[in-house]
Amino acid sequence: MASNKRKVMLPHTMGKAGIALMQSRDDIETIIYSAGISQAELLPMLADVAGIALSGTPYKQAEMDASPAMQVVARIGVGYDAVEVPALSARRVPLMVAGTANSTSVAEQAFHLIIALAKLNRAMDALVRQDKWAQRHAVPPMELAGKTVIIIGFGRIGTRTARRCAAFDMSVQVYDPYVKPEAITAAGYTPVKDLDAALPNADFVCIHCPKNPETVNMFDARRFGLMKKGAFIVNTARGGIINEKALYDALKSGHIAGAGLDVFEQEPTPADNPLLSLDTVISSPHMAGVTVEAIEAMAVATSKNILSVLDGAPIKENTINPEVYG
């Protein structure tokens, strides 16, 4: 006898609390799939699925075509560059994201990278480990107080990073053409209208904007040339917003003093990526939003997102394409 249960697919890497929430529903059949599943394996599984949660798995036109019963697609996170939104919208399928579930974790990592770069953590640690204490005064660290940071993107994460920078007495400037200058001013920061004009005065640039055609290669050789000599850049958003070759050249020449990178153009980034050969680069494997707390919070938020659509009461503020509700 055919089951009346609606099928929902969840990746095996999803936080246990989110999986438990989905499995607690008697009207849902929960299917756990490998987060590293190939497209060839995934497509046949989608035939009668009503909802799917995605970790890093792409979901584009081919996946949409294979999903005639799909009602909701949800990202366990906030980035969605691996999802072809128009393909979903054409079928009136909402794409959901985890809202603020990992915003604090990403903001903390971004600010950690700012501190680590300013305090030369990598170099100082090496002096101790290599018994080179006598060289400790050669290039001293700097204070953050009084330094200028430009936050690129003033959304869920950028607003939180701005607060952390301000708490350390940094001068916070914000560039986000989609946020009204009055809103930035009201938050206590300085709005930047012309990014190119502001870059020469910034000690730090911290990227928190989405990756899209407008932001790909946003920081290229030209923009690095505009930055102050000795400035630092941090990216916990998406690889590709920074042109890696241009960054390497700027770091190698000494024009840019250091970079903190949680994301890369290709992930996993090759071990022979030239950027990894530089002592002025601090990296992490796209883990800014992955903490003990965020894993569970994102999992629960994702399950709630999926269930909200299946139950007919979608959480619209977490929907990337709310026009589908029309």
* Residues known to be catalytic: 238, 267, 286
> Residue 197 to residues 113, 146, 172, 175, 228: CA-CA distances in angstroms?
25, 20, 15, 11, 11
Q: Contact, 302 vs 18, CB < 8 A?
A: yes
Q: How far apart are CA 234 and CA 107, in angstroms?
A: 11
DSSP string, 291-318: -HHHHHHHHHHHHHHHHHHHTT---GGG
How many other β-carbons are positioned within 10 Å of the β-carbon of residue 19?
Answer: 20
Q: How far apart are CA 174 and CA 151, in angstroms?
A: 5
DSSP state of 275: G
Q: Contact, 205 vs 149, CB < 8 A?
A: yes
| Phi, psi dihedral angles at 267 (to 5 degrees) | -130, 130
Q: How far apart are CA 28 and CA 5, in angstroms?
A: 5
